[in-house]
Chain A
Amino acid sequence: MTILQLTLNGLALGAAYALVALGFVLVLNAAGAVNFAHGDLVMAGGMLAVALAPHITSFWPAPGLALLPLVLVLMAALGLAVSWLAYLPLRGRPHVSVFISTIAVGIILQNGANALFGGEPRAAPPLLWGGTVALGPLVVSVQSLAILAVAALLIGAQQWVFARTQIGRRLRATAQDPEMARACGIPVTAMILATFALGTAYAGAAGLLLANQFFVTPTAGGDLILKAYIAVTIGGWGSVPGAVVGALLIALFEVGVSAVLSYPVALGALYATLLVILVARPQGLFGEAARRRA
């Protein structure tokens, strides 16, 4: 029964990580460069939810649910601003320029959050309500179930948009070969901006969901960008399904392996696995893309 309980916890954590990794890989594909501010954008989503919550809690029974679309929209706008300021002016330059500019954006977000909210950990409201429910012998937090549902919904929606809609095909074309896409009449810059908006909106959703169960601090982004990077490396650089699988694998190590061994050993095992994958299968588990790692 303990194994089931831990599996459920691991799945919920992996689902939140998957949202983080998904936003990261979308921008990576569209822009061809790593957005090192992505972890801090997740943090910003959490802080945004914390800041908006008091204005909604008083008249809405499930403030987290009401906040979710608001956070998605506002974070999408932030994503546009980030791409405008930190990507577009530099996209003709060497990739390292974009790395540095996104690192700068991350530091600005961290210090901005610290100045506005202080350094203490804060909790966003739950998506529906707090507490737990009993599923037979299992005790499951309602928020964990909500994370699973929202992650499944957003990932499913993203897959549907990419596979079945014209804008999705344009986004994919831009990600696969921007020059050819431009030659075909696709507005590549607009597609890149849309991807930044979408990826950052996903970061915001992840931030809102994580900030309830695991709290949020201004410095929380550093750990999250590392996990997103590892997830994408394990899953396959540029692979969207790979990012999701990589995120679930990280959560499996954090929850499953640490339940058998210890957390430090689980972390060591995760990095050892990463090294093995890099050596034995450098393209990652779903290594369809042959993009250069940053």
Chain B
Amino acid sequence: MRRFAFPILLSLLAAGAAHAQPVNVPVLVPLTGFLSLEGTSQRNGALLALKQAPAGLTVAADVVDTGTSPEAAVTALERAAGKPVTAVVASMLGTQMLAMLPLAKDYGLPLVTVSGTASITEQGNPWVFRFFPGDAVTKAAHARYVVEDLGRKRPAVIYQTTAYGQGGKAQLMEQFQKLGATPVFEEGVDTSAKDLLPVITKALAANPDVLVLHLHSAPTALFIRQAAAHGVGVPIVAGSAMHQPSTAALLEPAELKGVCAETAASPVSGGSPEVEAFTAAYRGAFNAEPDAFALAQYDGVRMVLDAAAKGARTAEQVRDALAKGTHKGLAMTYASDGKGNMAHSAVIVCYDGKTRVPALVKRYDSLTGAVK
């Protein structure tokens, strides 16, 4: 665990600051290890939200690197609890979240996270709030786009053999079954696989009408590059890793032509003046491109700060505001389903082969109907 020099008091001492006690939101996220890319996005989104806190609030934020071990995350939370805490930006790593949950309940600390691990909101713990849609949401959008919009009924599903990959694949299979589509091929790929031509060859041999991917960032890029090199004409609809600007940066725009992907949001694609302002501010602050994790964490922290601005001063009051309120964020409108799942929308983005910035082509809200 690495503790950063930011106990930066993000002193937003707007004229006439109303509250002497700062809103303290420790940021406990993985900045090193295999999840450092996503963890950095999470941190950046949180810090940007804190930097743009509503006038009148004084905000404090300790940033602590939790690495990838549950012990480090628990230690970070214990240390953070040594001071009055308003809410905690908690790791997006599921195993760390599961370790932190009992402690958060004991201390009474709201955990605001973008972790996709389904089980963190299945523990009956009223202190966890997930601002990123889980697989049940994103994979529903993924499968619906494939079946309803592309009209494909013979998908080949290629997924990662990690917990992330297998969880998403299970959801995809369930959704395809509901939609009356029968996967003609399914295979797991280890993250260490270097050459994906074998799996591409086998998938094509099954005569699919669409290739559905649920892979991490580098394997997604590798798959798309090899498919393009071998002239694969079957459309590809990838998982959320594809939307990350760092994934697209690995490929030439021509290799991306026709590729689509599901994601919670794609800030670089714009969509509204507010999202464009967020993207510009993010680039200015971090010299990097924002992804869906950054935007979701930004929205989550904004909801906490809005609650504080409306008078929620204790952790319990913030928890109640998150549990009962609705927040119109930049990516979507958030409301708890009673378990702490706040995000219920997903979008589909597609690449035109000319740039690495995808266009938003479909939005799914509440999974009750598609709205363009």
Listed in ascending order, the chain A residues whose CB lies under 8 Å from chain B are: 2, 5-6, 9-10, 13, 111, 114, 118-123, 130-132, 139, 141, 210, 213-215, 217-219, 223, 251, 254-256, 258-259, 262-264, 267
How distant is the Cα of A120 from the Cα of B190 in the complex, in angstroms?
18
On whether the beta carbons of B193 and A263 are closer than 8 Å, the reply is yes
Number of A-B contacts (CB under 8 A): 92
**In the complex, which residue of chain A has the Cβ closest to the Cβ of B247?**
A121
On whether the beta carbons of B161 and A120 are closer than 8 Å, the reply is no
B167 lies within 8 A of chain A by Cβ: no
B367 lies within 8 A of chain A by Cβ: no
Task: For B188, list chain A residues within 8 Å (CB).
Answer: 262-264
How distant is the Cα of A13 from the Cα of B194 in the complex, in angstroms?
8
On whether the beta carbons of A263 and B229 are closer than 8 Å, the reply is no
Given A13-B195, A215-B221, A263-B188, are A119 and B35 neighbors across the interface (CB < 8 Å)? yes
**Interface residue SS majority, chain A:** helix
Q: Point out which of B34, B36, B201 has the most chain A C-beta atoms below 10 A from its C-beta.
A: B36
Task: For B193, list chain A residues within 8 Å (CB).
Answer: 254, 258, 263
Given A258-B193, A264-B190, are A120 and B198 neighbors across the interface (CB < 8 Å)? no
How distant is the Cα of A259 from the Cα of B230 in the complex, in angstroms?
16
Chain B contacts with A in 119-142, Cβ cutoff 8 A: none
How distant is the Cα of A254 from the Cα of B197 in the complex, in angstroms?
10
On whether the beta carbons of A254 and B187 are closer than 8 Å, the reply is no
How distant is the Cα of A213 from the Cα of B251 in the complex, in angstroms?
11
On whether the beta carbons of B195 and A119 are closer than 8 Å, the reply is no
On whether the beta carbons of A6 and B201 are closer than 8 Å, the reply is yes
B105 lies within 8 A of chain A by Cβ: no
Q: Point out which of B193, B231, B246 has the most chain A C-beta atoms below 10 A from its C-beta.
A: B193
Task: For B201, list chain A residues within 8 Å (CB).
Answer: 2, 5-6, 259
B321 lies within 8 A of chain A by Cβ: no
B192 lies within 8 A of chain A by Cβ: yes
How distant is the Cα of A10 from the Cα of B197 in the complex, in angstroms?
10
Q: Say how far B180's CB is from chain A's closest CB, in angstroms.
A: 27
Residue interface bits B70-99, CB-to-A below 8 A is 1, else 0: 000000000000000000000000000000
On whether the beta carbons of A9 and B36 are closer than 8 Å, the reply is no
Task: For A10, list chain B residues within 8 Å (CB).
Answer: 195
Q: Which 6 A-B pairs have the closest CB atoms?
A: A119-B36, A259-B198, A120-B246, A119-B37, A121-B218, A223-B192
Given A121-B218, A263-B187, A267-B190, are A132 and B229 neighbors across the interface (CB < 8 Å)? yes
Given A215-B222, A264-B161, A264-B190, are A255 and B37 neighbors across the interface (CB < 8 Å)? no
How distant is the Cα of A267 from the Cα of B194 in the complex, in angstroms?
12
Task: For A213, list chain B residues within 8 Å (CB).
Answer: 194
On whether the beta carbons of B198 and A139 are closer than 8 Å, the reply is no
Task: For B231, list chain A residues within 8 Å (CB).
Answer: 139
On whether the beta carbons of A123 and B32 are closer than 8 Å, the reply is no
Task: For B190, list chain A residues within 8 Å (CB).
Answer: 263-264, 267
B7 lies within 8 A of chain A by Cβ: no
**In the complex, which residue of chain A has the Cβ closest to the Cβ of B32?**
A114
On whether the beta carbons of B40 and A119 are closer than 8 Å, the reply is yes
On whether the beta carbons of A214 and B252 are closer than 8 Å, the reply is no
Task: For B218, list chain A residues within 8 Å (CB).
Answer: 121, 214-215, 217
Task: For A267, list chain B residues within 8 Å (CB).
Answer: 190
Q: Say how far B222's CB is from chain A's closest CB, in angstroms.
A: 7
How distant is the Cα of A117 from the Cα of B201 in the complex, in angstroms?
34
Task: For A111, list chain B residues within 8 Å (CB).
Answer: 32
B309 lies within 8 A of chain A by Cβ: no
Q: Point out which of B32, B33, B198 has the most chain A C-beta atoms below 10 A from its C-beta.
A: B198
Given A118-B36, A215-B250, are A139 and B194 neighbors across the interface (CB < 8 Å)? no
On whether the beta carbons of B229 and A9 are closer than 8 Å, the reply is no
B217 lies within 8 A of chain A by Cβ: yes
**In the complex, which residue of chain B has the Cβ closest to the Cβ of A139?**
B230
Q: Say how far B358's CB is from chain A's closest CB, in angstroms.
A: 17
B202 lies within 8 A of chain A by Cβ: yes
On whether the beta carbons of B197 and A255 are closer than 8 Å, the reply is yes
B181 lies within 8 A of chain A by Cβ: no
Given A214-B194, A263-B187, are A139 and B202 neighbors across the interface (CB < 8 Å)? no
Task: For A6, list chain B residues within 8 Å (CB).
Answer: 197-198, 201
Given contacts A121-B218, A254-B195, A255-B197, 14 further A-B contacts (CB under 8 A): A2-B201, A114-B31, A119-B35, A120-B37, A121-B246, A123-B249, A139-B229, A213-B194, A214-B222, A215-B221, A218-B36, A219-B34, A258-B193, A262-B199
